[in-house]
Amino acid sequence: MNKNRQSIRLCKYDYSRAGTYFVTFCTQNRECFLGNMGSIKNNISKKTELVANWQTLMRVFIRPENEETKLILLKYMEQILFGLNSFLKKHVGITEKVSLKELSMRFTETIINKNPEKKLAEVITGLIEDIAPHAVNVASPYFVGHMTSAMPFFMVHLKTIVTALNQNLVKIETSKVVSILEKQVIAKIHRIIYKENESFYNEHVQNAKTTLGIFTKDGTLANITALWVARNSLLASKEGFSGIEKEGIVPAYKAYGIERCVILASKLSHYSFKKAGGILGIGNQNIIGIDVDTNNRINLDLLKKEIKKIKKTGGRIKILAVVGIAGATETGTIDPLQKIGMLCSENKIHFHVDAAWGGPTLMSEKYKHLLDGIELADSVTIDCHKQFYMPMSSGMVYFKSPTIMNSIEYHANYVNRPGSVDLGIKSITGSREANSIILDCALKIMGTQGYALLIEHGIETARKFAEEIKKRPDFQLMTPPELNILTYRICPVDIKKKLSEDNFEQRQSINKELNKINRNVQRLQREAGKSFVSRTTLNIGNKRKEDIVVLRCVIMNPMTNINILKKILDEQEKIYRCYITTSRP
């Protein structure tokens, strides 16, 4: 009774306050709360003709049109904001087995209603009850196939705030303090990468004329931006030539007396480099893939040879950039950044590091040495929605030189005027939301050490997983984890033995069969819907290379542990046994 009495006081108390809380609903909406949510759902789905007029529009523009709607929104928002994990478990990816084809048959209507099709509450309910179950629960600890995973629950709160503020970072007039904050965050991350001294950062952190980096949509745009800057720096204006950005590639090549520009990158480099080559007009065949060594790192000797070969052309071919990878998408491996950096420095070549995946490893005292040499890079890509655990999608690109981004400067009469703090002046995009707020807050909440713990968990769990794979007779570890990514395949012990004995042709035929098996096991496991491991094809082999289909595991979810990974292997074993039994003639 005492308990109840207190809650009376509470409800009265809060209701009378100026700043209302969710809790005030208990006095405002008692009828609804006393009723059953199910019946509310039934009520709203009773079709009445919906008409768009100014009055109804304004009602739905400003706030929920009625208390029923508010209740529905409240229900889901509470689940999302304060029970994200359970919400996702309950609502997302728990599909009855509906194939993609069947699903796509449900989404074929292409006429938009003139009047509202549904009430707000119905739309939200439909989204969560009917759409979300067929989305993918990327936050599940059993979802270890891609670089998308669970994120701290507060990220959703931060994104909600950023959305509400709706600042546009293209210009100071629509962002004010947020542009300043972004410059600070950029300087903070720059400092982790480049470790310049205090006076360097004092000079540049809020300098309107210099730029240490920029937020982009994702790693692809970060890589494109880096190579765009590299291209423009290489083929800058000089006497009789006003620069590649203005005149274009043909006059640029002519002015510099060259025939071709190339970019050198490991064969394991991200496909965005080819895309960058295409977009930037140098041609994607000029992204030259250098073979990797047995550790899946760029083969330095081959890289040196290639540079030498190109230099022999007497300048007819120019190397626009060399790319080093810090966390290859498929294998998680890290190129020898220090050595590549020195090589680039000797040869005066722009050195770009794609640390979209591995960048945040710099926050781990224990493992940051893996990225030694990154400070030699002229530009660095890091993704926010990867190991910074931020929501889709946000990336960043950093530059060693605070003025190099001037080569991609654009102005307009109404914004981005010279000398302004407008961040849109040097950016591939125009309008852009304030994702920097999220990163800044997350760093304050977790500290570098918080991130380090997440990253170390991934690396160490991956190592344990590799040991487990090696122990199991049906599996073969293909690429051991350097960071938190590894690949393996189903390859039973007797076949392993055969592979080590047979000649190349016989091995090739066995591998073809194994490829088929692994492709199918991966698909069947995905379709079963309990866990997800991805697959890719690696071109490997000591002397003669072969295309090998491998299963790929990315361990970044802190809830993913070795027991879960063992269960994933168990399931694969089971699927494999079932598959070979049923597929035998």
Which window, 145-153, 313-321, 346-354, 475-483, contacts a second copy (CB under 8 A)?
145-153
Of 185-193, 295-303, 374-382, 497-505, which segment contacts a second copy by CB under 8 A? 185-193
Enumerate residues 58-117 that contact a second copy by CB under 8 A.
58, 60-64, 70, 73-85, 87-88, 92-93, 100, 103-105, 107-117
Interface pick for a second copy out of 41, 66, 94, 201 (rule CB under 8 A)? 201
Could you tell me the two tokens for 578? 């079932």
How many CA atoms lie within 13 Å of 403's alpha carbon, on the beta-carbon side? 3
User: Is cis: bond before 393, omega within 30 of 0?
Assistant: yes
* Of 52-60, 319-327, 341-349, 564-572: span binding a second copy (CB under 8 A): 52-60
- Is the peptide bond preceding residue 233 cis, with omega within 30 degrees of 0? no
Contacting a second copy within 488-507 (CB under 8 A): none
Question: What part of residues 457-486 is at the interface with a second copy (CB under 8 A)?
Answer: 457
Binding window for a second copy (CB under 8 A); candidates: 306-314, 411-419, 472-480, 568-576: 411-419
Distance CA(347)–CA(237), nearest Å, equals 21
Strands 317-325 and 260-266 come out as parallel
**Closest by CA position to 354, among listed 182, 227, 478, 211:** 227
Quote the least distance from Cβ 63 to a second copy, whole Å.
Answer: 6
Distance in Å, CB of 131 to a second copy, minimum:
6
Q: Given the complex with a second copy, which of 351 and 532 has the nearer CB atom?
A: 532
Provide the residue count of the chain. Answer: 585
Encoded amino acid at 329, one letter: T
Cβ proximity of 378 and 401 under 8 Å: yes
User: In this structure, what token pair is assigned to residue 383?
Assistant: 């993704």
Contacts of residue 197, defined as CB under 8 A and 6 or more positions apart, other chains included, come to none
Stretch that binds a second copy, among 161-169, 314-322, 468-476, 510-518 (CB under 8 A): 161-169
Question: Is the CB of 338 or the CB of 537 nearer to a second copy?
Answer: 537
Q: What's the closest the beta carbon of residue 190 comes to a second copy, in angstroms?
A: 8
Q: Which is nearer to a second copy, 333 or 472 (CB)?
A: 333
Question: Which residues lie below 8 Å from residue 316, measured CB to CB, with a gap of 6+?
Answer: 257, 258, 259, 260
- Which residues on neighbouring strands pair with residue 477, listed in sequence order? 488
Q: Choose the stretch contacting a second copy; rule: CB under 8 A; options: 158-166, 344-352, 469-477, 506-514.
A: 158-166
The tokens describing 323, both together, are: 């790319």
CB 416 within 8 A of CB 425: yes
State the nearest-atom distance from the C-beta of 214 to a second copy, in Å: 13
Q: Which is nearer to a second copy, 259 or 502 (CB)?
A: 259
CA 547 from centre of chain: 26
Write down the least CB distance from residue 107 to a second copy, Å.
4
Q: Does 2 bind a second copy (CB under 8 A)?
A: no
Give the DSSP per-residue string, 477-495.
EEE--SSSEEEEEE--HHH
Of 521-580, binders to a second copy (CB under 8 A) are: 526, 532, 534-538, 552, 558
Amino acid identity, position 546: E
- State the first-to-last Cα distance of the chain, in angstroms, to the nearest integer: 73
Footprint of a second copy on 210-269 (CB under 8 A) = 217-221, 224, 228, 242, 244-251, 253, 259-261
Closest CB 336 distance from a second copy, rounded Å? 23
Residue choice 206, 313, 506, 509 for contact with a second copy (CB under 8 A): 206
Residue with the two structure tokens 């006003």: 242
The residues, any chain, with a CB within 8 Å of residue 216's CB and separated by 6 or more, are 222, 225, 394, 395, 396, 397, 427, 428, 429
For a second copy, the closer CB: 343 or 553: 553
Q: Tell which positions 279-318 bind a second copy, by CB under 8 A.
A: 279-286
Comparing CB distances to a second copy, the nearer of 329 and 379 is 329
Report how far residue 113's alpha carbon sits from residue 51's, in angstroms, rounded to the nearest whole number: 11
* Half-sphere exposure in the Cβ direction for 365 (13 Å, CA): 4
Question: Which of residues 472 and 552 has its CB atom nearest to a second copy in the complex?
Answer: 552
Question: Under a CB-based contact definition with an 8 Å cutoff, are residues 550 and 538 in contact?
Answer: yes
CB of 379 to a second copy, least distance (A): 16
- Asked if residue 172 binds a second copy (CB under 8 A), the reply is yes
Q: How far from the centroid of its chain's Cα atoms is residue 244's Cα?
A: 31
Query: Between residues 34 and 348, which has the closer beta carbon with respect to a second copy?
Result: 34
Q: How far is the CB of 164 from a second copy (least distance, A)?
A: 5
Footprint of a second copy on 375-394 (CB under 8 A): 383, 385, 391-393
Nearest-approach distance from CB 42 to a second copy, in angstroms? 16
x/- letters, 323..362, toward a second copy (CB under 8 A): ------xx--------------------------------
Report how far residue 225's alpha carbon sits from residue 217's, in angstroms, rounded to the nearest whole number. 11
Token pair for 243: 């620069």
Count of residues in contact with a second copy, rule CB under 8 A: 206
Per rule CB under 8 A, is residue 443 in the interface with a second copy? Answer: yes
Q: Of these, 41, 89, 94, 184, which contacts a second copy (CB under 8 A)?
A: 184
Q: Is the dihedral of CA 55, 57, 62, 64 positive or negative?
A: positive
Smallest gap, in angstroms, from Cβ of residue 365 to a second copy? 9
Q: Tell me how far, at minimum, the Cβ of 41 lies from a second copy, in Å.
A: 12
> Measuring CA to CA, which residue among 389, 390, 381 is closest to residue 435?
390
**Binds a second copy by CB under 8 A, chosen from 40, 68, 125, 139:** 139
Spatial separation of the C-alpha atoms in residues 533 and 486, rounded to whole Å: 11
From the CB of 433, what's the least distance to a second copy, in Å?
4
Q: Report the run of H or E that residue 190 belongs to, with start and end.
A: helix 177-194
Residue (351 or 389) nearer to a second copy, CB: 389
